[in-house]
């Protein structure tokens, strides 16, 4: 596929972006029935007459889902409708049991909001057009055929466990004037939505499991011209992909326009492998979904009292919170982003609150515990170690009873279920050797083994001391205080540190 | 006593008193079905084993001294549009042939809880689309009054089962008159309750905003007893009304219309109504006056647009409601030979599985909802609906109930109108406004048209949740007629 280098494309064209984010709500039950929403169950085990659309079955709206979408709308500074209806979106597709999707059309529950995102220190206000409620479809798996899509497949199977899971669609207005920042703005927006959903506690927002999905719309126009024809890129399953997909479409559309061609209004699919997009269903003839108000459901009419009650439950916005913590911990945007992306901001904050220095809390969580969590395939916060444990270990380090290496051993044992840090220290006899006698013995032994090194040190090459310190640490199985060993060594050799 | 001719309330007390067992009553009805249903074809499926087992359970309960409900042990015919666990449920369509529901409709649960014996599933126009039961994919039902004539529709099977003494109780559904018009042409009683009064969960939807399940029987009191058994809130139907059910049984027992204000709807009689229908209706008006009701004429000017609005709203909703019959999960599947795409299999299944009337309405509805036409058709029809509702509201400010003939004609001949959809649709001209507005109405027999000797029905309409008024007025008219004739009109039906 022909492309124009990104920077060059931006010398001639202005990108216009629009983003549609789908968030699967983390409600216990589905949108219109009481089936479980747990991810990963055996196919077609979380189904009932309603979500299989058996003849005669009827939907009933899930109040918890309505509550979630109102909170999302409020957090995005939207107006909340006093009265609105669900609508049927009619089209035939085998992943949709009723052959219509219950969604919202011209009466969305939340409208006209915004979300600010920061990119390279610049604040971009992304305006929200609407936030509406709908239900998810089932999941089709296509077997055979080269494309993994329904056309050309030998056969397809469908899992209706996902059918009817509440889905919130957040649609932005068009975002203009971002120029070269467009891909980064798109990414930052999706990341911000993700953090906001997490802060609201309405979804687990796992892009890899599909509980957060993004469609990226992009068009290019020459400065001063009307907006160009847009494409909608689907299958964008990670933050990195959002950025890559927007970037690639800029490069691709620029090449089309440079050649005097016209961009086709179509749905495209992002290809993880090479970072390109490929055409999907053509939208040249807009599909007619024959929307009409869902007659099986009464209108949604949230009372103003309820909306105000929900407003009081809103958490601190992620951006505000990040700024506050970054200032308190004296860290920059990059360090903060690292904590957020690793999903450990909450637990680090909790650890700091337990009395651990911010640097130490960050160090433990982003190092030792992130590694341990990924080995076990769990979230860091779910590890069997508490903020109080970390606080205690830090105390022991500060008092000189433990060094870093020993502290790590203590945590390994804590994670292995051997008890609290104090219990581990006692049981394993882990303690810094503070008696100089055994250390001096070990130093003498090491010097005797490596007389050439001893000579170097005596002659003033202090960096050689590390070899002896290392040998001593080894003999003492790490239980020595390396600083004290070095002091004693230099004293022994009569060298000034 | 006659086990098959007696009314449900009589049978229920005989069962409760131990004069007869539910099993005997049930077997008598199964025998009757075996004897006459070949000619009537009221039933699509008879569940003899299930009915007898249920009857035995009721008899055992009685023997154990358990308290029984007011209709316990009495058999009932269930319209085949309600899901019944373990029993075929086709909605009169080939597309659902062989489907066995894994669940009970809310109404079926309530019938079971009331110890009512479900004999089987009755014939109907396919997906309840029709006024004659000729649109059933399984062949027409015959009117017991004249087997060459239609028993009304869509619930012709339920009405015919009552009129043929195959069951003393029946369940119907009414989207535009499918309970009331069959009742009118078979000399039985049928009520379309207030929209939302009886839960629709498990009712195979035709038009969700119009459909309502309702009771059918051979007299007003039985209808009221059945109404009380099935009405009331159910959380599984979002449109179900969460309020106490009006005391319809007390109203049926209080057959007194003295001081009641009755409105005669000017737009629903006169031109277009068969002379004998008009004559019997005029007599009913006279009876109401004699009984002490104050009858005045009322105008509902927008009713003349009701049929047009109805035939946009109904097809629009049904085009969407019937989308799920795509051969993917249940029922018929055609063309799945490994060579065809999923779209082709869906299309072939629907082509083969739906009858011509269903296809006609799906096409009308698909068109009416299409982008660019929506406002002119569906949108406009909804405005008319609002105006019709307003006509009713204004009328009920002046009167307690409204009346009209139920249907403009008596039962027509099978085949007479099947090729003329508009003539067929006109049968529902008097019943449709009630569905559009969501209020309630009853049809009860008021005599035979002199010119053809066929039954005529009186329609009584009341405001939403005013269902009790139907029973009070209906019971009064019924009592006056029984006084005059010495029996219910149905007793005059020819022997089968």
- Contact call for A55 and B204, based on CB within 8 A: yes
Dist. CA B102–CA B82, nearest whole Å: 12
Question: Does CATH place domain B8-301+385-492 in 3.90.1300.10?
Answer: yes
pLDDT at A146: 61
Query: What are the respective helix, strand and coil percentages of chain A, to the nearest 5?
Result: 40, 20, 40
pLDDT at B233: 98
- Contact call for A55 and B319, based on CB within 8 A: no
Distance from the Cα of B472 to chain A's closest Cα (Å) equals: 31
pLDDT at A497: 61
Secondary structure of B206-254 as H, E, C letters: CCCCCCCEEEEECCHHHHHHHHHHHCCCCCCCCCCCCCCCCCHHHHHHC
Distance from the Cα of A214 to chain B's closest Cα (Å) equals: 27
pLDDT at A285: 57
pLDDT at B366: 96
Averaged pLDDT, A332-350? 87
pLDDT at A209: 84
pLDDT at B338: 85
pLDDT at B424: 86
pLDDT tens digits, A405-419? 888 888 988 998 888
pLDDT in tens, chain B (496 residues): 799 999 999 999 999 999 999 999 999 999 999 999 999 999 999 999 999 999 999 999 999 999 999 999 999 999 999 999 999 999 999 999 999 999 999 999 999 999 999 999 999 999 999 999 999 999 999 999 999 999 999 999 999 999 999 999 999 999 999 999 999 999 999 999 999 999 999 999 999 999 999 999 999 999 999 999 999 999 999 999 999 999 999 999 999 999 999 999 999 988 889 999 999 999 999 999 999 999 999 999 999 999 999 999 999 999 999 999 999 999 999 999 988 989 999 999 999 999 999 999 999 999 999 999 999 999 999 999 999 999 999 999 999 999 999 999 999 999 999 888 888 888 899 999 999 999 999 999 999 999 999 999 999 999 999 999 999 999 999 999 999 999 999 999 999 9
Cβ neighbours of residue A441 under 8 Å, at least 6 residues apart?
none
pLDDT beyond 90 at A467: no
Size of interface A-B (CB pairs under 8 A): 104
Distance from the Cα of B306 to chain A's closest Cα (Å) equals: 19
Active site (annotated) includes residue B79: yes
CATH 1.10.10.410: which residues of chain A? 436-493
Residue of B nearest to A153 (CA): B341
Handedness of CA B217, B218, B221, B222 (dihedral sign): negative
Q: Does A53 touch chain B (CB under 8 A)?
A: yes
DSSP codes joined into one string, B278-290: HHHHHHHHHHHHH
Joined tokens for residue B352: 């083969």
Q: What are phi and psi of B475, to 5 degrees?
A: -65, -35
pLDDT tens digits, A359-382? 999 999 998 899 998 888 888 888
Nearest to B92 by CA among B44, B131, B48: B44
Neighbours of B412 (CB within 10 A): 23
pLDDT tens digits, A284-316? 456 799 999 999 999 999 999 999 999 999 999
Nearest to B174 by CA among B280, B45, B44, B314: B314
pLDDT at A147: 62
pLDDT beyond 90 at A215: yes
Question: Which range among A111-115, A457-461, B229-233, B240-244 shows the weakest confidence by mean pLDDT?
Answer: A457-461
Q: Which ipTM was obtained for this model?
A: 0.96
pLDDT at A490: 83
Nearest to B321 by CA among A30, A100, A86: A100
**Residue B266 DSSP class:** G
Q: Is residue A232 a contact partner of residue A217, using CB atoms and an 8 Å limit?
A: yes
Q: Bin B346: left if φ > 0, else alpha if -120 < ψ < 50, else beta.
A: alpha
What architecture is the A436-493 domain classified under in CATH?
Orthogonal Bundle (1.10)
Dist. CA B273–CA B380, nearest whole Å: 28
Q: Is residue B98 a contact partner of residue B107, using CB atoms and an 8 Å limit?
A: no
Neighbours of A435 (CB within 10 A): 7
Averaged pLDDT, A225-231? 95
Widest Cα–Cα separation across chain B: 73
Is A496 in a helix, a strand, or coil?
coil
Cβ neighbours of residue A9 under 8 Å, at least 6 residues apart?
A220, A250, A251, A254
Question: Which range among A5-9, A85-89, A231-235, B366-370 shows the weakest confidence by mean pLDDT?
Answer: A231-235
pLDDT beyond 60 at A283: no
Question: Which range among A254-258, A340-344, B66-70 shows the weakest confidence by mean pLDDT?
Answer: A340-344
On chain A, the residues whose CB falls within 8 A of the CB of B101 are 54-56
- Contact call for A55 and B101, based on CB within 8 A: yes
Banded pLDDT at A281 (limits 50, 70, 90): low
For an interface test with B, the pick among A31, A58, A59 (most B C-beta atoms closer than 10 Å) comes out as A58
pLDDT at A286: 64
pLDDT beyond 80 at A435: no
Dist. CA B333–CA B325, nearest whole Å: 9
- Contact call for A295 and B209, based on CB within 8 A: yes
Active site (annotated) includes residue B154: yes
Nearest to B238 among A56, A151, A296 (CB): A296
What counts of helices (H) and strands (E) characterise chain A? Answer: 17, 14
Nearest to A97 among B105, B237, B329 (CB): B329
Active site (annotated) includes residue B383: no
Q: Is residue B352 a contact partner of residue B334, using CB atoms and an 8 Å limit?
A: yes
pLDDT at A472: 84
Q: Is residue B30 a contact partner of residue B96, using CB atoms and an 8 Å limit?
A: no
Distances (CA, A) of A452 to A79, A207, A441, A461, A472: 78, 58, 19, 12, 16
pLDDT tens digits, A386-397? 999 999 999 888
**Residue A96 DSSP class:** S
pTM, whole model, 2 decimals? 0.87
Catalytic residue (choose from B9, B21, B22, B79)? B79
> Would you give the end-to-end CA distance of chain B in angstroms?
19
Neighbours of B413 (CB within 10 A): 13
Dist. CA B209–CA B313, nearest whole Å: 9
pLDDT at A368: 87
Dist. CA A281–CA A293, nearest whole Å: 27
pLDDT tens digits, A132-148? 999 999 999 988 766 66
Dist. CA A61–CA A70, nearest whole Å: 14
């Amino acid at each position: 596929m022909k492309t124009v280098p990104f920077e060059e494309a931006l010398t001639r064209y202005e990108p216009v972006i629009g983003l549609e984010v789908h968030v699967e709500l983390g409600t216990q039950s589905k949108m219109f029935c009481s089936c479980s929403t747990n991810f990963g169950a055996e196919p077609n085990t979380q189904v009932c007459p309603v979500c299989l659309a058996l003849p005669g079955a009827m939907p009933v709206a899930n109040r918890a889902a309505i509550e979630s979408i109102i909170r999302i709308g409020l957090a995005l500074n939207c107006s909340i409708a006093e009265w609105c209806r669900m609508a049927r979106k009619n089209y035939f597709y085998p992943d949709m049991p009723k052959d219509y999707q219950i969604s919202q059309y011209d009466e969305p529950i939340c409208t006209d909001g915004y979300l600010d995102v920061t990119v390279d220190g610049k604040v971009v206000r992304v305006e929200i057009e609407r936030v509406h409620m709908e239900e998810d479809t089932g999941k089709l798996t296509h077997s055979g055929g080269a494309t993994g899509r329904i056309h050309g497949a030998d056969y397809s199977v469908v899992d209706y466990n996902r059918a009817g899971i509440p889905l919130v669609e957040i649609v932005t207005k068009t975002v203009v004037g971002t120029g070269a920042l467009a891909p980064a703005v798109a990414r930052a927006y999706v990341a911000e939505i993700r953090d906001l959903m997490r802060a609201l506690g309405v979804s687990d927002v796992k892009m890899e499991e599909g509980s957060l999905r993004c469609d990226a719309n992009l068009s290019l126009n020459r400065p001063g011209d009307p907006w160009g024809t847009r494409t909608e890129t689907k299958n964008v399953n990670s933050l990195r992909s959002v950025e890559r997909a927007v970037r690639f479409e800029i490069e691709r559309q620029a090449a089309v326009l440079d050649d005097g061609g016209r961009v086709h209004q179509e749905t495209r699919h992002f290809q993880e492998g090479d970072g390109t997009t490929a055409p999907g269903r053509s939208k040249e003839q807009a599909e007619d979904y024959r929307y009409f108000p869902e007659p099986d459901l009464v209108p949604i009419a949230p009372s103003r009292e309820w909306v105000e009650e929900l407003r009081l439950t809103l958490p601190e916005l992620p951006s505000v919170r990040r700024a506050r913590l970054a200032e308190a911990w004296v860290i920059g945007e990059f360090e903060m982003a690292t904590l957020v992306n690793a999903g450990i901001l909450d637990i680090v904050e909790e650890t700091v609150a337990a009395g651990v220095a911010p640097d130490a809390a960050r160090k433990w969580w982003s190092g030792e515990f992130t590694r341990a969590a990924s080995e076990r395939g769990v979230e860091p916060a779910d590890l069997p170690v508490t903020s109080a444990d970390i606080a205690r270990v830090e105390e022991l380090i500060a008092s000189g009873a433990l060094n870093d290496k020993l502290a790590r051993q203590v945590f390994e044992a804590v994670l292995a279920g051997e008890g609290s840090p104090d219990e581990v220290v006692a049981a394993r006899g882990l303690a810094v050797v503070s008696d100089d006698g055994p250390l001096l013995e070990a130093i003498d032994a090491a010097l005797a083994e490596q007389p050439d090194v001893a000579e170097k040190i005596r002659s003033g090459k202090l960096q050689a001391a590390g070899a002896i310190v290392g040998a001593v640490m080894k003999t003492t199985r790490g239980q020595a205080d390396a600083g004290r060993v070095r002091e004693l060594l230099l004293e022994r050799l009569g060298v000034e540190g | 006593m006659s086990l098959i001719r007696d009314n449900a309330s009589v049978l229920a007390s005989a069962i409760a008193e131990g004069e007869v067992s539910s099993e005997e009553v049930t077997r008598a009805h199964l025998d009757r079905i075996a004897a006459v249903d070949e000619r009537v074809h009221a039933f699509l499926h008879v569940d003899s084993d299930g009915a007898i087992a249920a009857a035995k359970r009721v008899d055992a309960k009685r023997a154990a001294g358990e308290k029984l409900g007011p209709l316990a042990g009495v058999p009932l015919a269930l319209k085949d549009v309600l899901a019944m666990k373990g029993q075929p449920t086709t909605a009169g369509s080939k597309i659902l042939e062989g489907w066995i529901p894994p669940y009970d409709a809310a109404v079926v649960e309530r019938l079971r809880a009331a110890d009512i014996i479900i004999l089987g599933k009755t014939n109907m126009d396919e997906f309840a689309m029709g006024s004659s039961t000729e649109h059933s994919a399984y062949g027409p039902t015959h009117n017991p009054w004249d087997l060459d004539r239609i028993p009304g529709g869509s619930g012709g099977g339920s009405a015919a089962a009552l009129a043929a003494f195959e069951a003393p109780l029946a369940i119907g559904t009414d989207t535009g008159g499918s309970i009331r018009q069959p009742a009118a042409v078979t000399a039985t009683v049928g009520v379309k309750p207030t929209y939302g009064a009886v839960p629709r969960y498990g009712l195979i939807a035709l038009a969700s905003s119009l459909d309502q399940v309702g009771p059918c029987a051979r007299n007003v009191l039985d209808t009221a007893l059945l109404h009380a058994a099935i009405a009331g809130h159910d959380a599984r139907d979002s449109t179900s009304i969460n309020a106490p059910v009006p005391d319809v049984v007390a109203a049926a027992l209080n057959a007194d219309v003295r001081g009641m204000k009755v409105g005669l709807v000017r737009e629903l009689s006169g031109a277009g109504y068969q002379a004998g229908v008009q004559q019997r209706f005029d007599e009913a008006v006279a009876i109401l006056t004699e009984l002490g009701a104050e009858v005045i004429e009322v105008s509902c000017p927008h009713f003349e647009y009701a049929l047009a609005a109805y035939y946009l709203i109904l097809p629009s909703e049904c085009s969407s409601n019937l989308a799920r019959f795509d051969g993917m999960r249940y029922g018929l599947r055609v063309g799945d030979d490994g060579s065809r795409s999923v779209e082709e299999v869906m299309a072939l299944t629907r082509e083969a599985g739906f009858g011509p009337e269903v296809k006609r309405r799906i096409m009308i509805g698909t068109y009416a909802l299409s982008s660019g036409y929506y406002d002119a058709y569906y949108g406009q029809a909804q405005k008319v609906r609002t105006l019709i509702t307003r006509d009713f509201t204004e009328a009920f400010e002046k009167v307690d109930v409204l009346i009209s003939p139920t249907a403009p004609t008596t039962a027509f001949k099978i085949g007479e109108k099947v090729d003329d959809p508009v003539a067929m649709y006109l049968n529902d001209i008097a019943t449709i406004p009630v569905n559009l507005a969501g209020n309630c109405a009853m049809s009860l027999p008021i005599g035979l048209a002199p010119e053809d000797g066929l039954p005529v029905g009186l329609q009584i309409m009341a405001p939403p949740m005013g269902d009790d008024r139907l029973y009070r007025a209906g019971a009064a008219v019924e009592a006056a007629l029984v006084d005059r004739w010495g029996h219910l009109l149905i007793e005059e039906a020819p022997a089968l």
